[in-house]
Structures are given as structure tokens and as C-alpha cells.
Structure 1
Amino acid sequence: MLLVLNTGSSSIRLSLFRADLTEALQGAVTGIGGPAKLSLGGAERELHIASHAEGIAAILNALQTHGIPMDEITAAAHRVVHGGTALTGPTRLDKNALAAIEANVQLAPLHNPPALAGIRAVADALPGLPQYASFDTAFHAGQPDLATTYAIPETWRAKGLRRYGFHGLSYAGMVVQFGKDLPDRLLALHLGAGVSLCAIRNGRSVATSMGYSPLSGPTMATRSGDIDGMAVLRLAEEIGIEAAGHLLNKDSGLLALGGTSDMRGLLAHESAAARFAVDHFVWSTTHQAGALIADMGGVDAVAFTGGIGENSADIRQRIMDRLAWLGPLPVHVIAAEEERQIARDALAVMGKAG
């Protein structure tokens, strides 16, 4: 079986997949660094986990208790947010790949270090186990230079300041799920705590709303979405760079406008602030949609995924109402299957290697 791990700053999500991509088991460790919770197959228990290494050890012990011998795990596969320009497809993790992920830490300081910690913890716990990685940026790697280049001096562009795009595993999984029925020009919307849109033409990303970081794009749960660079500099000047980064990523978005980052709570609340937050979310999403439709030269269908995209018919309808000028369009709701896409990627790399 293949162990798929999605490692965050204080959590590790896991799934076990069989070779036919059916999911055998899922679970998570949350609260790393303090009082933590381990859930596996519907059962939960509390424990103290100080590090990702301890989290991985707890997961492996729990799997054995659940009746999964370690020798049945043939490989591990990881989600890594940022592959930069060097890692543009799934890969087996060797010294060179790990060095490339390490080199991208500056591009994703909140995301790549936890992934590296998870990879190293597995290597320590299960020496010799083959490990693979899939990258959220990879699906967008083939975009044209016009879509990825910031109009700044070349010396800074050479340092990696460009648009990368994220949620690529979600979009790649969506393309696979459509199969032969994939529309030629698909507007894909990943709506959750993080929000992005992607223009998918003939199965390939041609433009996306997120850029150098996951901050840009529509209004999100706690991220501001698009904001003028001079406004960012004003914040940094007044409260400092670190505080400004925290404000824009953790204290903005729906939380700042409506008092909560939970879309269900906002939709249920009748206050003017809650209504405005929802309206801003819908407006900013359709505002971005117009640009991406132009990048594709039109649109043949719309697909929603992510927690909000899959579960809120109200938000989907509000967005489509603002896109009614396009005429009747097929609307699809696609389950986000990032873990299955990671497993699919790893199995494909394993197959190519024989």
C-alpha cells in the first residue's frame, strides 16, 4: 500500500491507498507542538506530540495497532506546496530533489519546511522506504511567460519573483476526473479557506489567480486576496514586515470583513457585515473569473471544487448569477481529491521506473 502524507505546520493528514487507487484508510495528527489529537479510521485519542518526527512515529504505531504491518507499506508520497521552476512534475525523492525543495523554502517559508520535516521523519522511521513528492505549483508550470512574469527588473525576476500558482493538485485531479468529457475551455474554481481560479484549456493551465504566493486572488477565509503593493508597504512601514504578513494571511479576508472565516456562519447571519463579506467574496471571485475567461478566449463550462465550492449551492448560484452574461453554461461540482492525485502521481513515477 501507498502512504500519502500532507504535512502542515502543526498537522499531518494521511491516507492509505491500494494499487488500484482505492482508499483503504485515512486519518490525521493535529496540534503538533502541544496537546495533540490522533485520528485514524474514525477513532480518536489525545496525546502530546512535540515534533513532526513524533507525529510520524505516532501515525506508524497507530497503523500497526490498526492491523497494517509496516512491510505492507511499499512507498510514501508527500504533498509539497512549492516546486519552484526546477520541480515541475511528481518525482522520487533523492538528494537532488530534497536539495531543490530546500532551495524553495524562501518561496514558501510556511509550507515547504513542514513538508521537509515529514519527509525526513519518514526516512528516519522507515529507512530505505521509497518516497515521492507531488507539487502544488506543478500543474501551472507550463503557463506562458506572459501569464507568469511580473513587470519588475530582471535582477529580481532572476531571484524567483514571478507568478507560480497553487492548488495544482486539486486542478490536476479535476482534469483526471473529467476524463474524455473534459471541456476545451474550463473555468475551474477551488473555493475553500484558500481560494483560487484556474483557466484550463485543453487540459492545461493557461492562467490562475494565485501568484508568487497563495495570498493573491479573490477574498479568502483569512487572506486578503489581491491588494496594492503600496498598501502592503504602508502596512510593513507602520507595523513591521512580520506583523504585516500575519495580518494579510491570518487576520484578513472574510474574518476581517464579517467577523468569522466560516462561510456557513456568514450565510446564516443577517448582519450587514456578514452580508457584505459574502458579497465581497462573490464579487472578487467573479471579478477574477472575467480575466481568466479572456485568457482562454471564452469558456465552455464551469467547475467548482473545495469545501465551499462543493458544499455551498448558495455561493455557486450567486457566482453563476454574476456570470449570467455568458449565457447558459454547464456547471459541474467536482470532489477535491488531492490525496488520490498524489497517489496517482507516485504510482505513475513508480511505473515509469519499472
Structure 2
Amino acid sequence: MNVLALNCGSSSLKFGLYQVGDQSVECLCEEDWETSGADAQISGAHDLLQKVEEKIRPLSGGAAVDAVGHRLVHGGPALGRHCRIERADLPRLTAAVPFAPLHLPAALAIVGAAMEQFSSQPHVACFDTTFHWSLPALAQTLPLPETLRSQGIRRYGFHGLSCESIVHQLGADLPRDLIVAHLGNGASVTAVQHGKSIDTSMGMTPAGGMPMSSRSGDIDPGVLVYLMREMSYDADRLESLINHESGLKGISGLSGDLRALHRAADASPSARLALDCFAAAVAKQIAAMITSLGGLDAIAFTGGIGQHDAAMRAAIIRRLAWLGIFIDDTRNVSALSDVQRGDSRCRILVMESREDEQIARIAGSMTGA
């Protein structure tokens, strides 16, 4: 069957048509479109989906769409598993918007438009939180009163579809104790044991964990109280600060793009500091996840930075030398899959995140493939 995978960001739409069989997934065509922002994406969702259908028809040789899979970053406390969805389910999906207000409105607009454009096909919601639904209580519990935790305030974890794709790619070669470092504009580190998530760096929202491109990651909550009390920050101003003005962009004062920071690092101490802060934060999270796992067989680097930034991989691994983890500089620059040195205590893998392929695989398995 042919599955259309829709992967909506706050200002982008990735889509691909995949032929899904019992044991295989083949990409027929794929595109990655930048849009002019979330508001424009919401208001123009129907036009976007019409253009998607027009685009895939000739690229796929006229292949029909049999099912549609949607990436949704958060399902909230009520929707923890990938599931088939109908138009009647849109209110349940919308109820999760407060948990991911930057991501979900645009994504749900695309879901609604897709349900009209492909009205006779089944639709499947694929949640980034699903892979982490198995987190043990120790990992998912935030240190807050039960009255708040009962309202769904907990650690959810994200980049789950990326983690699922890594686990699938490793197949029979999947190690017992694996750390997935998904490093991109958003970044997280996940401890995977026997193919299941047992701990992860992100929290209730994708803003938690390590400093990212423009997101602060975890921060002393007293700082937020101080900004509210002493500088009159309201919720909207705090949200903008945490998600758009902080992280590497905030530290460097230049950019949240690691490529720009690498270019500026020799002349700019703040750019060098931002790079060092990111490398140190990732290394700390990897060390923490080793504690959660009780051992380590492999680290898989993925995401735009994890897969393509050899200098950052090396900077992270150098901070783990005390654990007996070493990188082979030549193999690392070549981005070969196994880039560890011969005397390293664990494998170091460089892998592609295949989120869209995973969406197609999930949707196909839930609708008949």
C-alpha cells in the first residue's frame, strides 16, 4: 500500500509517499517545504494539502494514496499510543495543545486539511511521545505534588519517532544498552534498554533538557519566578524567551545554527562558549543515561547535528574519555557508521533519522500493510 507521511513543523512541512509492504518500506517521492510561519501554515493548510497532492501525483507515477500518517509531537496525557483517527477525534488531539503550543496548532491544521483532501483514506496519528510511554515511574515523575501530577504534568520525552527509526534500523544488531543522541535544532538524549525507552532528557515539553538552538532547556525555575516578579514577564514573554531567544542563540548572541557558530568561533569568544556549552551538556546527559542503563553498549548520533557535525561529535566524545569511550578521528570525519576507536568500551554509531519512513511504517501496519 502507498502511505503519505506528513511531518509538520512550526514553519515547515515535510512529506513523502512510501510503498509499505510486510517487510519493506520504499520511498516513492519526498519533499521538504519551508513555509512563512505557523500562522500562515494554519490559514493556508488546505492550499498546502492541495499542492501536496498535485506534487506527489507525477512524482509517484500516479500511485494512489491508501493511507495517511501524521507526525504529532505530543498526545498529552490521554493519547499515549499511535492510533487511527477520525474527524471526531480532533477535539481530543486539540486538548494536547497546551503541552506543545508551538508545534501542535500548525500540525493539527494540516491534519484537518488532510482529512478533507484525502477523505476516503484512513488516517493515523504518530506521536513523538509514544516511544517514551514505557518510561518507568522513576523517570517520568516530576518532583511536584500529586494534585498537579494527576493533571498530566510529567516527563513525556520526545524525538520518539527518530528513536523508533534507529531501533528499527539496528534490527537484530540492536544492543542491549543503547543511547540515542538526537541532535538538531531540538536535541535530546534517550536511554534505550532492550529496545525500550527507560530515561530521556526532555520533560513535559520539547523545551526541556539540554540547551538547544534557541531553546533554553532545563533552567533554574527561580529564574522564571524572578523574571515574572522583578521584570514583569508574563506567560507569553516567558514562552518567547524559553523557545526563541535562549540556548545557543542566547549564549552566542549570534545564531543558534552550529554551522554559523563554528565559522565564528575563532574570532568570537561567545560563539566558542556556545559550542562548548552544547558539547558539555550532551556529554553530561550521555553520562547520566549510562547511570540509568547501568552500562553501555553503543551511542547512536542522529539528527542534523548528530549525523553531519563531525567536530561536535568529537567534542562530545572527548568529554567521555574518562569512561573509556574514544572516537576515531579519521572515521569520524568520514561519518562512517562505526566511528569508535579500537580501544573504545562501546560502539559509536552515526545514523540517519528516518522519521518519515517510520511514520509510513506505523500507518501501514495500522491500516492493512
Aligned partner of 1:15 in structure 2 is 16
Q: Distance in 2 between the 1:123 and 1:264 partners?
A: 38
Q: Distance in 2 between the 1:28 and 1:105 partners?
A: 24
Q: Distance in 1 between the 2:124 and 2:51 partners?
A: 21
Q: Does 1:169 align with 2:169?
A: no
The Cα of 1:9 is off from its aligned counterpart by 3.0
Q: Distance in 2 between the 1:307 and 1:67 partners?
A: 26
Q: Kindly indicate whether the alpha-carbon contact (under 8 Å) linking 2:215 and 2:245 is maintained by their aligned counterparts in 1.
A: yes
Pick which of 80-89 and 247-256 moved more: 80-89
TM-score by length of 2: 0.87
Q: Distance in 1 between the 2:5 and 2:200 partners?
A: 26
Match of 2:362 among 331, 341, 345: 345
Gaps of 5+ in 1: 37-47
Pick which of 253-262 and 86-95 moved more: 86-95
Counterpart code for 2:221: G
Match of 1:159 among 142, 147, 151: 151
Aligned partner of 1:315 in structure 2 is 312
Q: Distance in 1 between the 2:350 and 2:88 partners?
A: 39
Q: Does 1:247 align with 2:241?
A: yes
Counterpart code for 1:341: Q
Q: Distance in 2 between the 1:340 and 1:189 partners?
A: 19
Pick which of 126-135 and 83-92 moved more: 83-92
Aligned partner of 2:352 in structure 1 is 335
Pick which of 258-267 and 206-215 moved more: 258-267
Name the SS for the 2:25 alignment partner: coil
Q: Distance in 2 between the 1:187 and 1:282 partners?
A: 16
The Cα of 1:88 is off from its aligned counterpart by 2.6
Aligned partner of 2:34 in structure 1 is 30
The Cα of 1:177 is off from its aligned counterpart by 0.6
- Provide, for residues 187-222 of structure 1, a one-character-per-residue CA deviation record: whole Å limited to 9, x for no partner: 110011111000001111000000011111112100
TM-score by length of 1: 0.90
Aligned partner of 2:256 in structure 1 is 261
Kindly tell me the number of residue pairs found equivalent between the two proteins: 340
Q: Distance in 1 between the 2:243 and 2:54 partners?
A: 35
Pick which of 23-32 and 130-139 moved more: 23-32
Q: Kindly indicate whether the alpha-carbon contact (under 8 Å) linking 2:10 and 2:37 is maintained by their aligned counterparts in 1.
A: no
Q: Distance in 1 between the 2:309 and 2:186 partners?
A: 15
The Cα of 1:137 is off from its aligned counterpart by 0.3
Q: Kindly indicate whether the alpha-carbon contact (under 8 Å) linking 2:42 and 2:105 is maintained by their aligned counterparts in 1.
A: no
Aligned partner of 1:45 in structure 2 is none
Q: 1:118 to 1:34 in 2, by over 3 A?
A: closer
- Provide, for residues 278-326 of structure 1, a one-character-per-residue CA deviation record: whole Å limited to 9, x for no partner: 1000111111222211111121111100001000111111111111122
Match of 1:147 among 139, 147, 153: 139
Pick which of 116-125 and 49-58 moved more: 49-58
Q: Kindly indicate whether the alpha-carbon contact (under 8 Å) linking 1:79 and 1:133 is maintained by their aligned counterparts in 2.
A: yes
Aligned partner of 1:39 in structure 2 is none
Match of 1:59 among 52, 57, 60: 52
Counterpart code for 1:5: L
Q: Distance in 1 between the 2:51 and 2:314 partners?
A: 43
Q: Distance in 2 between the 1:28 and 1:170 partners?
A: 17
The Cα of 1:50 is off from its aligned counterpart by 4.7
- Provide, for residues 239-277 of structure 1, a one-character-per-residue CA deviation record: whole Å limited to 9, x for no partner: 222111101110111111121111112112212111111
Q: Does 1:73 align with 2:65?
A: yes
